[in-house]
Amino acid sequence: MRRNVWLLAIFALLMFLTNGCVNAGKSSKETPKMKSASYTGQKLYIYAPTSLKKPMDEVIFSFEKKTGAKVIPNYGASGELYSQIKSGQPCDIYFSADWLYVDKLKSDDMLKTSQKFLEDVVVLIVSEKGKNKVQKVDDLLKPNVVVGVADPKAPIGVYTETALKKNEIVG
């Protein structure tokens, strides 16, 4: 595989993803069209968090249709994906839910370039049954309020714990 061809394919995919995110609220008439290129028979390995599976599958389908390339996705936890890359498994594009792993790849000298283009936002979701008890973060301290938190080892769990500590909900 020639690296310059892959860089073009990666750039095209990233432009497609970025245009999709940036233009999410616009009509299809306003969205720029991705130029069609032929990469028939070539493979592109993408590692992404499981949380991106549904949108990524749609992007991959469109990308393969427009370019003829075969995209091989690998979905999982960011840390597990990092470990696979570190052990030498083929990866052309890595989407991480935690920038820590991007920094690790950089320090491992396994990263050509990086770009932040999405931002995580922690939200408080209240059940229909609990909507009268919980209307703001401080209400989580009320008696008889049950709180469910994402896996504390996953990036969103770390973000949630940080947010709860910042708001002095947990010590």
CA-based nearest residue to 66, from 87, 31, 39: 39
Average pLDDT, the chain: 78
CB–CB of 137/128 below 8 Å?
no
Residue 93, H or E segment = strand 93-94
pLDDT of residue 104: 94
Of the listed ranges 31-45, 52-66, 109-123, 140-154, the least confidently predicted one is 31-45
CATH class of 3-107: alpha beta
- Kindly compute the dihedral angle of the four CA atoms of residues 13, 106, 119, 93, in this order, to the nearest 10 degrees: 20
CB–CB of 45/92 below 8 Å?
yes
CA separation, residue 168 to residues 64, 99, 145 (Å):
48, 25, 16
Please tell me whether residue 159 adopts helix, strand or coil conformation.
helix
| pTM of the complete model | 0.61
End-to-end Cα separation, the chain, in angstroms: 52
CB–CB of 96/81 below 8 Å?
yes
82-100 residue pLDDT tens: 999 999 999 999 999 888 8
Q: Where are the domains of the chain?
A: 3-107, 120-171
